[in-house]
Amino acid sequence: MAGGFLLEIRRGTQSALLIIRYEAGLPSSPVDVTVAADCLEVRSGGSCEAAALPAEVRLAPSSCRGLRRVPGDGLHLRMRLRRPPPSADLGFTLRESLKPQKNYIFYCQTCGDIIVKDRKFLRVLPLPSGNWSALVEEWCCHPDPFARSTLHPQHDDCFLGDTFFLLSSGNESHVPESSMCCSESGHYASQSGSNLKSKENTRVICKRCKTMLGETVSSDTIKYYVTEVIIRPSEGRFSITPRSQFVQSMIAQCLVELSSAKSTFRFTIKGDNGKIYILIWLLNSDTLLVESLGSPSSHSVFTLFGDNFIPSSGPVETWNAVKVLYQPCIKSRNKDLADAWENDIGVHPLKFPSETCLELLLILGLSTASLPPSLRCMNSFQRKKGKQREGEGRYFSTVKHFSGKTWKKQVSTTANQAR
């Protein structure tokens, strides 16, 4: 197919939307579309192009309906599946990956430098939500017994938050010189419990590439963000994951895990400077995307991730994806809406380094631009939030690194594809 196709499958409803893409409008001759259980075929004039579907995707041809031409997209066709595709393998989240009594190495995700070497944890414990102390008043009929308490890890503990993990820095043999902390004023200090003179909540950066990895929350506790560090078993192999794929993967996992655990679907993406960068509304996490790029001349039309994200292992690729609506909040955009969401108890805040928030915003924008025009906005989001201007509701699909039955696959170096 000259422009390729995009097949968006919903596992929950076993339905699919097929978009046969044309770069410069439909050809003048009649177009015949043939849908078989395991392949698609398009005939026009004397040409015939076909694409085989992955083994896990089988269509029900008799259910095809609603064939129509959408300007700027091509042909749209809805159908059902003959059988449900395999469920999305959520693999292992960070909470499930880190196990007590095992040795791990922490790498800088950007450059691969070792940050923490051969650390064995005796306890790996989840932290309560960030606003847990505010809820204590609802639980206790007497003054807050935890008012002066802090949840800091002891030696050989690892505490897991929504977007970060806390480690004790007391044992310097686990923190090599490659990890340095940098205060906001730019002064460096080694992460020694006795020599740490920078103020609390200073930035922890990688000495080699100067990327922010986390913060020092006390003289003996370090917070590392999940988007900045790759964790591997000491005996495992390591290679760097492309940055954009890693950011998409980790944030998608955060969204899916939190929406399931807390029944919340709205999120604010906040930087370490306290500013809100993005508002995100999770639509669904059961999407399976099948994409054919078509001829090389069509790669600039609707490739799902732009040139930097085009997979190269075959003509048809399959991805697990999440779909979200989003609103940028930089340069005072959507300030009233951001303020309303920040004060809404049903909205969950997610904190990342400010640079990562900007990276995510760029990824969202590239993903939106790569989609067919008819899928880039959802007016229902605009109607629900009446203060938004026309055209500001966004739709986004992101790759998730959901794979594997082993820990190694969960930290695979490429975007995991549904097999």
- How far apart CA 322 and CA 63 sit, in angstroms, is 25
Q: How do residues 25-40 score in pLDDT, each as one tens digit?
A: 666 678 888 999 999 9
How confident is the model over 30-52, as a mean pLDDT?
A: 88
Q: Which has more pLDDT, 400 or 369?
A: 369
Q: How do residues 150-189 score in pLDDT, each as one tens digit?
A: 778 988 899 999 999 999 885 433 343 344 444 333 333 3
pLDDT at residue 200 greater than cutoff 50: no
pLDDT at residue 418 greater than cutoff 90: no
> In this prediction, what percent of the chain has a pLDDT beyond 90?
35
How would residue 275 be classed by pLDDT, with cut points 50, 70 and 90?
Answer: very high
How would residue 376 be classed by pLDDT, with cut points 50, 70 and 90?
Answer: confident
- How far apart CA 3 and CA 23 sit, in angstroms, is 6
How confident is the model over 145-154, as a mean pLDDT?
A: 74
Per-residue model confidence (pLDDT) at position 367: 86
- Residues in the chain, how many? 419
User: Which is it for strands 266-270 and 221-225: parallel, antiparallel or unpaired?
Assistant: unpaired
Q: Which has more pLDDT, 299 or 159?
A: 159
CA distances from 193 to 17, 149, 160, 236, 374 (A): 57, 20, 22, 30, 56
Task: Tell me the backbone φ, ψ of residue 129, rounded to 5 degrees.
Answer: -65, 160
With 0-12 / 13-18 / 19 or more C-beta atoms within 10 angstroms meaning exposed / middle / buried, residue 109 is buried
- How far apart CA 182 and CA 180 sit, in angstroms, is 7
Residue 14, by phi and psi: left (phi above 0), alpha (psi -120 to 50) or beta? left
How confident is the model over 92-96, as a mean pLDDT?
A: 63
Name the one residue in this structure whose structure tokens are 């955060």: 254
DSSP code of residue 166: E
How would residue 18 be classed by pLDDT, with cut points 50, 70 and 90?
Answer: very high
Per-residue model confidence (pLDDT) at position 49: 84
How would residue 195 be classed by pLDDT, with cut points 50, 70 and 90?
Answer: very low
> HSE-up of 14 (CA within 13 Å, CB side)?
12
- How far apart CA 351 and CA 347 sit, in angstroms, is 13
CA angle 182, 274, 283 (to 5 degrees): 120
Angle subtended by helix axes 243-262 and 354-370, to nearest 10: 90
- How far apart CA 39 and CA 316 sit, in angstroms, is 11
Q: How do residues 233-248 score in pLDDT, each as one tens digit?
A: 888 788 888 999 899 8
How confident is the model over 315-322, as a mean pLDDT?
A: 84
Per-residue model confidence (pLDDT) at position 276: 97
How would residue 263 be classed by pLDDT, with cut points 50, 70 and 90?
Answer: confident
- 8 A C-beta contact, residue 354 and residue 277: yes
